[in-house]
Structure 1
Amino acid sequence: MNMEKGMPNEQFLATQETRRSGLQALRAALLQVHKEVIGYDRGQYERLNGPIPAGLFVQLVTEDNFFRWLDPLSRLIIEIDEELESPEHHDETCRAVARATERLFSDKGDNTFRKRYQEALQDESGVIVAHGRLMSVIGQLRQLP
């Protein structure tokens, strides 16, 4: 491409596409983890409180304290959504999102989240599979230029 006309060079475009696809892969992996832990948590909630009536589950997830532990995960997904809306993705922003994800799922993360997530990870095979995929995506993001 011709830089004289203000067009970005091919390396810049390739890097932008790599960052974008990395963010999309991270978002997809986090959404899968979110889906699996919500399914697990719904079962836990229903064991304690009985079946959740149809149409009430979304309201419970957003309003009931039982599900508040998922807030850090939900916020992380929203941050990635906001980054994906911008036309350019900067190295530092991508690294910050990757670090925030790593921190959330590490011993340094939110204590409430970590405790409940570890329970789900030990009890639910779907969470184990989604967690493995997430860790793989994080590993790939670390290698981005």
Structure 2
Amino acid sequence: MTDSSSTSVPAYEKLKTLRPLMLRLHKALLEAEQDSYERVHGPITSKMELFQLVISDEWFDWLRPISGFIARIDESIASKEPVSPNVIHGLLEEAYDILPLQSDEASEAAVRYQRAVDNYPKIATLHAQVMDALKSSSTDTNGAS
């Protein structure tokens, strides 16, 4: 990282901390949705079938913004060019918006996310870990370095 982004080193580190938490949360949500899907439609017989469902079936639509968000984190972390502080801070702010529980609206995504948090202790724990990381990042990114 260059000097122009050195003021965002704590924020960048928080983004790097957030990534594996988001991956674990996303994986747990996918597993929960797969379980729900299979109860309604029968077993998913292969990883390729699951992949096709995840990318194209309406059942999994609500998870796609989380997938895209993780991809944007990956792009920023893997960038060979310096990542601007605005991009880093923007991703940290976007994390709040990407988790449907944080929304005031009762969207399908919010309802399904809440159901997953309520019914799967692992998801509730991961959600709490993500929120802790974000709260920590919001205090660390306000001018601290």
TM-score (norm 2): 0.82
By relative contact order (CA 8 Å, sep 6+), the higher-ranking structure is 2
CA RMSD of aligned residues (A): 2.1
The answer on whether the counterparts of 1:37 and 1:127 sit within 8 Å (CA) in structure 2 is: yes
TM-score (norm 1): 0.82
**Of 23, 41, 62, which aligns to 2:33?**
41
Number of residues paired by the alignment? 136
Alignment of 1:114-133 (within 5 A): 114-133=110-129
**Offset, 1:18:** 3.1
Question: 1:44-86: CA deviations, max 9, x gaps?
Answer: 0010011110232112111211101101111111111111122
Where does structure 2 lack aligned partners over 5 or more consecutive residues?
none
**Offset, 1:91:** 2.3
**Of 61, 83, 96, which aligns to 1:68?**
61
Structure with the greater alpha carbon radius of gyration: 1
Asked if residue 139 in structure 1 is aligned to residue 139 in structure 2, the reply is no
Name the SS for the 2:46 alignment partner: coil
Pair 1:122–1:44, CA change in 2 (3 A): same
The answer on whether the counterparts of 2:28 and 2:122 sit within 8 Å (CA) in structure 1 is: yes
Identity rate of aligned residues, in percent? Answer: 24
Where does structure 1 lack aligned partners over 5 or more consecutive residues?
1-7
Aligned structure 1 segments of 4 or more residues deviating by more than 4 angstroms: none
